[in-house]
Structure 1
């Protein structure tokens, strides 16, 4: 059996960590993880440093697939472009000349391509929707790959998930962990679980993407000829409204709900670190730093979407990817994993 050699860039994040786990469970793959901080079995690389990237990746001559899921946050949309484009360019510049058997470069994107972060956008969003006014680093990254691939033997793909559900800690964009932490602290304080977002957000139509489902789709797109040199929306396959799902999530934690109350989690949860430390002692938890479960800014962002937020995932199905996940059950599974790992009580 021919072995594929995967380089997963951004291997510590919600997306990358699940992709590494999925690839390690497949018989035909070897995996190298890459992240800024490194870790067990991972390379520590500063992707913003072209020389460091070239030096650290010079020995990866047998890499066949690059899975790019790295991200650097910045205060404004315009400021996101230079570092996030540079990191991808540095990776390809380092790997392509030495990995003579390179077959595919996979790019992780999102609904920012459709302007979803700016306000109400056309739904369902489709892969061939017209672009919006820049800046947008996802678009620049894809354009770089399209241009770089011309005349080459390797192909590219771009995956566009919605908000991704996973359990990786220390990540600035982890909604499931934020909800679980918010619920656990609310329960500890004896208050009901209130939806903290805008009133319109409680009623908007949404979708999410399970990290395990996304990992399967990413490998499918990287290995299927029908997916070569294309972008695909990857979603769980169902839609929901918080007004129906939120009480069910509260029930999982054994909590009552009360009417929504708009509040900034970044503000109201800022002083809860000492309480979190006491909860860990009281409930015999794993000792996870509060900063590692505090994706409050991202949760505020998601709960502020008072407009429909979903895309058409049928293109991937037409091309051959048919996996789907029920979003409600996804949350229960993720919460259960966090409880099993003693992250939450």
Structure 2
């Protein structure tokens, strides 16, 4: 039996890792988050403040059974520079607590993203490759990887760095859930009787983009953590196809049985700020689960993604060459996620 410590267990990535590992017979799972969770067979949660080294040490220093650390935690801050200290500190605190006691530690998996390539700063080289040159700091993903590389020297455990594109999943209360942004935006637009307009920059409507299914990402993350070819390597992980919003957006509108209209650039963070009461009435009208409006969608993240008026994709062939061969159809992924949100009574 292997024991996975999933750091950031309630996020869209961590929750899908739990789902994936729960379907395998040879894993015990320990989930870490500030909110904790519901214990189940072979799964237990620990509520911990990873920014507090004493609390982290107190809660984790007895977890000697851990064999694999899957680090997916993330702390948002107002600026890129401000993100470095807390996000690096959480990883350092976890490793400092676990490494001395987990004598059978095999692997530490680090969840990154295309920020490593400067994708958040503006147009970057596409397709991005794991061998691409670095860019001017600050960037916490890079600092985290440097920490693991240095810490691993002379150790028996290995590390991997997993780099997905925008992740598609259904976890609520997550700051980076694009499918939920689109689903709530479409549901509110439909209730108001207006067409589903693409709200991003005009130049973003026809650029090439890709996403990463959360289930595929979980599969790839465990693959890299357990196969020798994943040791001390970074991998871009994506669905394997590309799309343009100008082709996919009308299909999304059709799924919600809506008309479209020409794109109109909006700040979702601004125009959706006053829609909490409307959403409450939608929940009542359609007998939805009473999730808090603020927990449903991160409009700032939607604005961020829809502002990419440049191509946004990476070369995923390194993982394929190393033995990970799963693909996902992105259109079907979005429709499946929308159906799941309906089944969970999150949206009408």
Report TM bin, short chain.
over 0.9
Residue deviations 1:261-309, cap 9 Å, x none? 0010001101100000001111111111101112100000000000000
| 1:268 lines up with 2:274 in the alignment | no
The yes-or-no answer on 1:317 pairing with 2:320 is yes
Matches within 5 A, 1:148-159: 148-159=151-162
Matched, 1:78 2:76: no
Matched, 1:28 2:31: no
CA RMSD of superposed structures (Å): 0.5
**1:237-256 matched pairs, under 5 angstroms:** 237-256=240-259
Q: Which runs of 4+ in 1 moved over 6 A?
A: none
1:280-339: per-residue Cα shift (whole Å, max 9, x none)? 111111111101112100000000000000000000001000001000000000000000
Tell me how far apart the structure 2 counterparts of residues 326 and 295 of structure 1 sit (CA, whole Å).
24
Residue 229 (1) aligns with residue 232 (2):
yes
Deviation of residue 59 (structure 1)? Answer: 1.5
User: Following the alignment from structure 2 to structure 1, what is the Cα–Cα distance between the partners of residues 80 and 131?
Assistant: 22
Distance in 2 between residues matched to 1:266 and 1:171, nearest whole Å: 15
Q: Secondary structure at the match of 2:10?
A: coil
Q: Which residue is 2:131 aligned to?
A: 128
Deviation track 1:229-257 (CA, whole Å, cap 9, x = no partner) reads: 00000000000000000000010000010
The residue number in structure 2 matching 1:18 is 16
Q: Counterparts of 1:44-59 in structure 2 under 5 Å?
A: 44-59=47-62
Whole-angstrom CA distance in 1 between matches of 2:38 and 2:288? 23
* TM-score normalized by the length of structure 1: 0.99
Q: What is the CA-CA distance between 1:178 and the residue it aligns to?
A: 0.6
Q: Deviations over 1:73-102 (max 9, x none)?
A: 000000000000000000000000000000
Are residues 1:284 and 2:282 paired? Answer: no
With the length of structure 2 as denominator, give the TM-score of the two structures.
0.98
Match of 2:112 in 1: 109
Corresponding residue for 1:213? Answer: 216
Runs of 5+ in structure 2 lacking a partner? 40-44
Unaligned runs of 5+ in 1: none
Q: Aligned pairs, how many? A: 343
- Greater alpha carbon shift after TM alignment, 195-204 vs 35-44: 35-44
Partner secondary structure for residue 324 of structure 2: coil
CA distance in 2: counterparts of 1:36 and 1:125, whole angstroms = 34
Question: In the alignment, is residue 173 of structure 1 matched against residue 176 of structure 2?
Answer: yes
**In structure 1, how many angstroms separate the alpha carbons of the residues matched to 2:311 and 2:174?**
25
State how far apart, in whole Å, the 2-side matches of 1:285 and 1:49 are: 37
Q: CA offsets, 1:202-239, max 9 Å, x none?
A: 01100000000000000000001011000000000000
Q: Which residue of 1 aligns with 2:195?
A: 192
